[in-house]
Structure 1
């Protein structure tokens, strides 16, 4: 009978095997995948997966990365798995202001400018704004300067009682959507900064005006997505948001960037945005 070796088996189990095993098991359970299903996806065996999770076998670096990929583990946490298994981190974390990311920053700026007059912005893992177009600038009109001081934070700007919250007509629904989004991220990322931000914005009171408007004028939600209905210059604009991330990123910073675009949810919003945009261009032409 042939013997098949999987990684490095130690008796008693090595410290690295004991450290990485519970982490991998935790990710598998979060994804609600059985050991057998994960083994089939990763071209392994349920027995080996069991040995890895219990610390009886230390997985190879390749196996750690393969399991992480099939478990859809975030890039930052893949580094944590590698370190727990006794290997060096594979994915670097490049600061956004590093010259190496210059082409990326330029590409992102071009992309979100292409959405104008519709609002679009780029945020990092803690919702700090990396870049925003003029559509976003329009929505921020009237927000106090202290909330606009760098670094801008999208969640803080949206949910603070003196920020956009006071103008969002369906604030309770939109607030619930944003907090749920943060909760899903917290389930995937061990981020003290994100947890601190969540606790801050979740504690913000709901402005009375927003609550009154929501109670007085129920929103007919489009079947395809929850809209954000926000007052601007005496009108109520309606947007649905879409979030995009990078495919197969090899850098922690890039992996945690998100591009959020706000598309009009009704014809009146389309007409208003385009007429306002055309008016701005006419004024600029006269200067």
Structure 2
């Protein structure tokens, strides 16, 4: 059977339903009539380029998918897409590198939309001691590196708690982007065998966020994570980049991170 591509109206309806909005809700936010929106979704009316971009903005559709919908409507893509190594991305790459470097001795890294490692600062390397070599071969997936039985998982002291946190983030990301690659990754992570719990290990609680508690050569390290993204990006690649930064959860973590950074390579 021949594959029939969805129409722009079908795409719009899918994203509206994914955002749990009624036609009236979206129409009010986009300042058009619900009747007009209904005609667009059913194919009775073809949206102008500006109208389509307005609707996609209200639906918070990822830039990559906005280009797909524009093409479905017969328009050229609106958002450029450059590799991070392209000359056009030089300033952005330099900014990312500067932020990561400035974060030392605290770990920080940049990832793409599939959690593939793009850049990392020098504080990340000491934390990877003992990780299987095949997990460090490019492209390195950060979630796989964290939860694989041959990755960091055996040294994560609150593995069940941290694993739940990461899987929730991945599920939320899929809900927001509808990227099928994320579902494949989720299935893989769920298939990993969990090591037995160490009941003797105390589980420190943070009053503000789920910590990453990692056993290192310098002792048990407790870190809080934060995510940074570029505001109002106009390039697809830049819109999909995130910087994951880790902050010491206590004074002991500061001392451990400084000692790890000072250890010979």
Q: State TM-score, norm by structure 2.
A: 0.91
Equivalent position SS for 2:124: helix
Once the two structures are superposed, the pairs formed by residues 103-182 of structure 1 within 5 Å of their partners are 103-182=91-170
Question: What is the alpha-carbon distance in structure 2 between the residues aligned to residue 39 and residue 194 of structure 1?
Answer: 30
> Which residue in 1 is equivalent to 2:89?
101
Shift of 1:216: 3.7
Rg comparison, structure with higher value: 1
Once the two structures are superposed, the pairs formed by residues 30-45 of structure 1 within 5 Å of their partners are 30-45=18-33
Shift of 1:55: 2.0
Which range moved further: 182-191 or 75-84? 182-191
Once the two structures are superposed, the pairs formed by residues 206-217 of structure 1 within 5 Å of their partners are 206-208=194-196, 212-213=197-198, 215-217=199-201
| Structure 2 residue runs without a partner (length 5+) | none
Shift of 1:99: 2.1
Is residue 65 of structure 2 the alignment partner of residue 81 of structure 1? no
Two-structure CA RMSD over aligned residues (Å): 2.1
Q: Deviations over 1:54-76 (max 9, x none)?
A: 22211111111101111111111
Is residue 55 of structure 2 the alignment partner of residue 62 of structure 1? no
Is residue 227 of structure 2 the alignment partner of residue 243 of structure 1? yes
| Structure 1 residue runs without a partner (length 5+) | 1-14
Question: What is the alpha-carbon distance in structure 2 between the residues aligned to residue 234 and residue 203 of structure 1?
Answer: 31
Structure 2 residue aligned with 1:222, among 186, 206, 218?
206
Q: Deviations over 1:209-263 (max 9, x none)?
A: xxx22x4445243122111111001511111111111111111111110100011
Shift of 1:151: 1.6
Is residue 249 of structure 2 the alignment partner of residue 256 of structure 1? no
Question: What is the alpha-carbon distance in structure 2 between the residues aligned to residue 105 and residue 116 of structure 1?
Answer: 17
Question: What is the alpha-carbon distance in structure 1 between the residues aligned to residue 175 and residue 21 of structure 2?
Answer: 16
Equivalent position SS for 1:177: helix
> Which residue in 2 is equivalent to 1:8?
none
